[in-house]
């Protein structure tokens, strides 16, 4: 097919000029074709998509990672379609491509945006070598409910931490310039409030106030947009009665009008047509009208746009100017990616997958993500010279695929180094290692293999149990109502405990778990999430003291599922609980009169505290916080709070601590949380070393949306804490003032 006109405008034009020029030469069906994304079915993709691409009916292809096929699809688009518009090639590159990082929740546990950015860069380079130029990540949905399977894909419960991680991942994927080799367009998802689905059931309804939406759930998206994210994805869920895919408030009022977003929005998989199932739309035509009116630029796989938008435009129900606006955003991203200059991929231009630098990056991420939750009697780290034998027990000690976690379509399990392999290599010739799987899967029940595990533990100096949940138990459509360890893992722990040997548990999971039934049965507890390709060496180094654990929890761990939602930045209520006011259910007099006098907000059978608080994580170092101070007790609006603390490592080993700063606005136009994270910093100290850690917090960072949905920083009194987790008690006070006091005047 010959071209009727040049495929690209003059390169000296600006991107917007090039977009306008190209748009002016497109027919209506070619415009709507850019809004149509189709899925690849593998080798048959060429036969299935050749004609639609030639006709200009396809703007993006999903899930094709064979670089030969990708290049041929691009050749058809560039050389055989009328205008030669290249394709976006989309793929879920969630936490790695061939080389796999820890799950995003584990990456959040590093509290290290730099390593998150490096990991996204590794993923981008590997994906780009397969022809992928667009990833559906990062996912920045906040959630306070670990039952939700997709908590694994996000950054936890806190807006500040999630924002920092989202920005880091966007910058890692997109690089310094989208047109650079190895850069791919990022996609902030899922817009919005998907993580607040009822009871943690995936795809369920979200009922959430605009106050909560603006003050928490939207903040990471705004941060990603400010960082230049190219695209957004609409959530599957119903948001306050209007599914996100048809939600004009989210897509037009907030995203376009308030935030001036210039990228484009893609629907989730077939979510335009799902507006019918939700009950918002009558049929495919009605669904296409609702989604395009809301501002969804591209439809993923459903094809209601390509089938119905031409008629809707002809009938005057959709203005062609609206189509032009939506298509312009898609074309803009394609120009920014440099696809019009070079749509083809040459893998030799990029580093090979799984190269030493990539493996080192994912190993460092895994190392920093592991959280030490318990270390009774300083059992850890283990000293090989004091051991004759160790027992490695459990279904996740040697499970190369499972340690990769959810959403790893392209992950290479053959590259995984498991904890068993890493420990056997480290201890070879020094310590005997006895391995007993004990359970076929994490869901298995008691079997004779438990006896084998007990025997191995009895004959060893220490038992290390590798427990948790397989990768398939978290992720999309894999929510759980009971988040205890699956199967009979708790019984396995009890039987090993009965041997009298020291017990270490290493948990791999895609979510926070309720560990109350085992926490007292183990001497040491490491939470490793799903740690990725190099999880084994990282875990081995921590167990043997080559490095000290430095991960911190990005989500609160409940004592029992009935406490959910439980999160650190809750409201105070009119009757806040305290250690002095709670009553345990076993202590209640059955004949006591019913009364509310002196009662507070807690559960009779669980109290009010979590098992482990947000931000918690132990170390082999001994970190002490002293002499916290604020530079001035009053901070004028428009200026910054300076708060500092002395941090000392009184331990015997060098270690890293994540220092965290929290604030509380005591009185507001609306009630404010008891604490909010406003800053954090990783600090490495040698034994005996002391340093002063200072934070600078601008008064704009204290702003919130008030009862009228205005973003304001109100003058008044604040508390500020600095410590190693959200439960820190080291506090100072300051006041934000809107005028200078006499002492502050020059």
Residues 366, 471, single domain; the answer is yes
- Which among 510, 527, 543 is the end of a domain? 543
Whole-number Å distance between alpha carbons of 552 and 341: 44
User: Residue 660: how many CB atoms within 10 A of its CB?
Assistant: 25
What DSSP element (H or E) covers 641? strand 640-649
Examine the residue annotation and report whether 268 is marked as an active-site residue of this protein: yes
Q: Which residues lie closer than 8 Å to 49 by C-beta, 6 or more apart?
A: 38, 40, 58, 61, 73, 76
Q: What's the pLDDT score for residue 701?
A: 98
- Which among 543, 562, 579 is the end of a domain? 543
Residue 77 φ/ψ, nearest 5 degrees? -65, -45
Tokens linked to 205: 């309804």
Residues 534, 659, single domain; the answer is no
Q: What's the pLDDT score for residue 585?
A: 86
Residues 441, 531, single domain; the answer is yes
Residues 379, 507, single domain; the answer is yes
Q: Has residue 120 been placed in a domain?
A: no
Residue 613 φ/ψ, nearest 5 degrees? -80, 160
Structural domain for 436, as ranges: 361-543
Q: Has residue 709 been placed in a domain?
A: yes
Q: What CATH number is given to the structural domain containing 671?
A: 2.60.40.10
Q: Has residue 158 been placed in a domain?
A: no
Residues 536, 639, single domain; the answer is no
Q: Please name every residue paired with 265 in a beta bridge, in sequence order, or none if there are none.
A: 232
User: Residue 721: how many CB atoms within 10 A of its CB?
Assistant: 23
Residues 634, 520, single domain; the answer is no
Contact 18, 281 (CB under 8 A): no
Q: Has residue 489 been placed in a domain?
A: yes
Q: Has residue 532 been placed in a domain?
A: yes
Query: Per the structure, how many domains does the chain have?
Result: 2
Q: Which residues lie closer than 8 Å to 577 by C-beta, 6 or more apart?
A: 600, 601, 602, 607, 608
Residues 532, 628, single domain; the answer is no
Long-range contacts, stretch 663-666, CB < 8 angstroms, 24+ apart? 663/697, 663/702, 663/718, 663/719, 663/720, 663/721, 664/718, 664/719, 664/720, 665/702, 665/704, 665/714, 665/716, 665/718, 666/716, 666/717, 666/718, 666/719
Name the catalytic one among 145, 268, 410, 541: 268
Whole-number Å distance between alpha carbons of 443 and 486: 5
Q: Has residue 302 been placed in a domain?
A: no
Residues 412, 505, single domain; the answer is yes
Residues 396, 531, single domain; the answer is yes
pLDDT per 10-residue tile (average), the chain, 746 residues: 45 90 98 98 91 98 97 98 98 98 98 98 98 98 98 98 98 97 98 98 97 98 98 97 98 98 98 98 98 98 98 98 98 98 97 98 98 98 97 98 98 98 96 98 98 98 98 97 98 98 98 98 98 98 98 98 97 91 84 82 92 98 98 97 98 98 97 98 98 98 97 97 97 90 52
Q: Has residue 281 been placed in a domain?
A: no
Contact 157, 143 (CB under 8 A): yes
Residues 655, 516, single domain; the answer is no
- Which among 543, 559, 591 is the end of a domain? 543
Q: Which residues lie closer than 8 Å to 627 by C-beta, 6 or more apart?
A: 645, 646
Whole-number Å distance between alpha carbons of 628 and 643: 7
What DSSP element (H or E) covers 361? helix 356-369
Q: Has residue 687 been placed in a domain?
A: yes
Q: Within the chain, how many helices (H) and strands (E) appear?
A: 20, 26
Residues 416, 531, single domain; the answer is yes
- What pTM was computed for the model? 0.97
Residue 228 CA, distance from chain mean position: 18
Residues 498, 375, single domain; the answer is yes
Tokens linked to 36: 């149509």
Which has the closest alpha carbon to 162: 555, 510, 550, 528? 555
Q: What CATH number is given to the structural domain containing 505?
A: 3.40.50.1700
């Amino acid at each position: 097919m010959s071209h009727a006109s040049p495929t690209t405008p003059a390169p000296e034009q600006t991107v917007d000029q090039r977009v306008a020029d190209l748009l002016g030469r497109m027919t209506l069906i070619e415009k709507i074709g850019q809004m149509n994304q189709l899925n690849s079915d593998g080798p048959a993709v060429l036969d299935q998509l050749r004609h639609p691409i030639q006709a200009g009916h396809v703007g993006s292809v999903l899930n094709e990672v064979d670089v030969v096929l990708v290049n041929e699809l691009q050749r058809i688009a560039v050389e055989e379609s009328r205008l030669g518009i290249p394709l976006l090639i989309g793929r879920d590159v969630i936490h790695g491509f061939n080389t796999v990082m820890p799950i995003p929740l584990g990456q959040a546990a590093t509290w290290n945006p730099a390593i998150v950015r490096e990991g996204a860069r590794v993923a981008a380079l590997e994906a780009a070598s397969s022809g992928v130029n667009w990833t559906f990540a990062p996912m920045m949905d906040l959630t306070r409910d670990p039952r939700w399977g997709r908590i694994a894909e996000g950054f936890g419960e806190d807006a500040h931490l999630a924002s920092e991680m989202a920005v880091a991942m966007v910058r890692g994927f997109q690089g310094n310039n989208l047109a650079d080799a190895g850069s791919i367009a990022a996609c902030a998802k899922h817009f919005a409030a998907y993580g607040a689905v009822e009871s943690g059931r995936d795809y369920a309804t979200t009922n959430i106030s605009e106050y909560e939406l603006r003050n928490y759930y939207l903040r990471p998206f705004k941060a990603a947009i400010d960082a230049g994210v190219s695209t957004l994805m609409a959530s599957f869920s119903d948001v306050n009665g209007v599914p996100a895919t048809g939600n004009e408030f989210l897509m037009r009022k907030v995203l376009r009008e308030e935030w001036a977003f210039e990228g484009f929005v893609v629907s989730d998989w077939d979510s335009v047509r799902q507006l019918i199932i939700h009950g918002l739309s009558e049929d495919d035509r009605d669904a296409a009208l609702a989604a395009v009116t809301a501002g969804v630029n591209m439809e993923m796989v459903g094809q209601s746009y390509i089938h119905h938008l031409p008629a809707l435009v002809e009938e005057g129900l959709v203005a062609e100017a609206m189509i032009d606006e939506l298509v312009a955003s898609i074309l803009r991203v394609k120009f920014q990616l440099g696809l019009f200059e070079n749509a083809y991929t040459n893998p030799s231009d990029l580093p090979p997958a799984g190269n030493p630098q990539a493996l080192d990056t994912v190993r460092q991420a895994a190392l920093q993500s592991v959280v030490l939750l318990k270390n009774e009697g300083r059992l850890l780290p283990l000293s090989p010279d004091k051991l004759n034998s160790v027992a490695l027990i459990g279904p996740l000690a040697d499970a190369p695929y499972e340690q990769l976690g959810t959403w790893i379509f392209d992950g290479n399990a053959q590259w995984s180094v498991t904890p068993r392999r890493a420990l056997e290599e480290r201890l070879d010739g020094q310590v005997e290692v006895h391995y007993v799987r004990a359970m076929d899967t994490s869901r298995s029940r008691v079997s004779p293999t438990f006896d084998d595990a007990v025997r191995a533990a009895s004959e060893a100096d220490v038992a290390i149990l590798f427990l948790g949940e397989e990768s398939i138990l978290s992720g999309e459509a894999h929510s759980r109502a009971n988040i205890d360890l699956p199967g009979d893992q708790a019984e396995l722990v009890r039987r090993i405990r009965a041997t009298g040997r020291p017990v270490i548990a290493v948990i791999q999971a895609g979510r926070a778990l309720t560990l109350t039934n085992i926490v007292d049965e183990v001497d040491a507890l490491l939470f490793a999430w799903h740690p990725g390709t190099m999880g084994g060496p990282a875990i081995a180094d921590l167990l043997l003291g080559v490095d000290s654990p430095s991960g911190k929890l990005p989500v609160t761990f409940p004592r029992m599922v009935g406490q959910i939602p439980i999160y650190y930045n809750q409201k105070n209520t009119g009757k806040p609980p305290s250690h002095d006011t709670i009553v345990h259910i076993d202590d209640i007099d059955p004949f006591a009169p019913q009364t509310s006098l002196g009662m507070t907000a807690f559960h009779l059978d669980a109290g009010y505290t979590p098992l482990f608080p947000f931000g918690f994580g132990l170390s082999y170092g001994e970190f002490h916080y002293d002499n916290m101070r604020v530079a001035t007790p009053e901070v004028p609006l428009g200026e910054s709070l300076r708060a500092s603390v002395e941090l000392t490592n009184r331990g015997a080993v060098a270690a890293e601590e994540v220092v965290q700063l929290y604030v509380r606005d005591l009185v507001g136009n609306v009630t404010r949380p008891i604490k909010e994270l406003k800053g954090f910093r990783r600090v490495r100290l040698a034994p005996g070393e002391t340093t002063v850690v200072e934070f600078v917090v601008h008064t704009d960072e204290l702003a919130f949306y008030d009862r009228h949905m205005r973003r304001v920083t109100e003058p008044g009194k604040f508390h500020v804490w600095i410590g190693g987790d959200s439960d820190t008690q080291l506090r100072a006070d300051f006041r934000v003032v809107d005028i200078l006091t006499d002492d502050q005047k020059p």
